Amino acid sequence: MNRFSQRIALVTGSSRGIGAGTAKYLLDKGYFVHITYYRDQNLAEKRFGKDKSAAIYYLDVGDETSVKKVIANISKISGQLHLLVNNATVDYNLSIEEMSSKQWDETFDVRAKGTFLMTKHALPLLKKPGRATIINITSSWAHEAQPGFPAAAAAEAAKMNFTKTCAVAFAKYGIRTHSVSPGVTRTPLWGPWGVDDAGWASMAKNNPLGRNCTPEDVAKVIYYLDSPEAEYLNGEEIYVNGGNHLRAL
């Protein structure tokens, strides 16, 4: 398939976890996917390096120079974008007393500032098709007190409001913006927290649907939101967690 007849996606943080699962799902659905990594170049190359419908870049979403460089390369290769998935993330499991200003800034640089920079600089490419979608991977933490993750929760609240603002501001360009909030998903991001098989089983048992979220669960929703079937949805906040967020209500 000629990539100029394909829908073209950019997925940040797509060397592993939800980002990698989303990129793979979109590739399987016929998209041309621009893959980005921050630390895991070898992993990104191993997963996507042989796919002719994928291009791979180093990207620091919190650094404007890095963002501009990636967007310039995408412009040369594809000329436009149909789907931007802002997925890059970082976490620190630290209390307010323990957290340094550097760790706070890094969290906001990736989760909030990075979403802004990617959206701002991808916008000219997203305007071109006449029908495009921005998906911000968010979290129910935006609405919750999280004493163990204060920076992440605060950054998610900022990202959630930014999503709503984009939904209104970009509708005139044919661009729809949504937030997708995954449930507990077994990815390498959980590695530092030491969750073992018993812990995963316990979380699955406590979920209304009896299992944990998978990257493919998230990818399916993203794919739907970018489809013509979702053309009148805009500014939605969708939880992909089996209804687990309702337990807090």
Task: For the chain, list the domains and their CATH numbers.
Answer: 3-240 (3.40.50.720)
Count other Cβ atoms within 10 Å, centred on residue 66.
18
Instruction: Report the candidate in 219, 176, 240 with the shortest Cα–Cα distance to residue 26.
Output: 219
Spatial contact of 126 and 111, defined as CB atoms under 8 Å apart: no
Q: How confident is the model at residue 248 (pLDDT cuts 50, 70, 90)?
A: low
* Dist. CA 57–CA 67, nearest whole Å: 10
**Which of 140-149, 152-161, 233-242 is the least confident region?**
140-149
pLDDT at 190 over 70: no
Q: Share the mean pLDDT of the chain.
A: 93
- Taking the CA atoms of residue 238, residue 239, residue 240 and residue 243 in that order, the dihedral angle to the nearest 10 degrees is -140
In the prediction, which pLDDT does 184 show?
A: 83
Counting residues of the chain whose pLDDT is more than 70, the rounded percentage is 94
pLDDT, mean of residues 26-54: 96
Q: How confident is the model at residue 170 (pLDDT cuts 50, 70, 90)?
A: very high
In the prediction, which pLDDT does 228 show?
A: 96
Q: How confident is the model at residue 29 (pLDDT cuts 50, 70, 90)?
A: very high
pLDDT at 19 over 80: yes
pLDDT at 131 over 70: yes
In the prediction, which pLDDT does 193 show?
A: 64
Q: What residues contact residue 245 under an 8 Å CB cut-off, 6+ apart?
A: 140, 181, 183, 239
In the prediction, which pLDDT does 249 show?
A: 47
Instruction: Report the candidate in 230, 220, 219, 111 with the shortest Cα–Cα distance to residue 176.
Output: 230
Q: How confident is the model at residue 140 (pLDDT cuts 50, 70, 90)?
A: confident
In the prediction, which pLDDT does 1 show?
A: 47
Q: How confident is the model at residue 191 (pLDDT cuts 50, 70, 90)?
A: low
**Which of 1-5, 70-74, 236-240 is the least confident region?**
1-5
pLDDT at 231 over 50: yes
- Supply φ then ψ for residue 154, to 5 degrees: -65, -40
pLDDT at 82 over 70: yes
Spatial contact of 152 and 111, defined as CB atoms under 8 Å apart: yes
pTM tops 0.75: yes
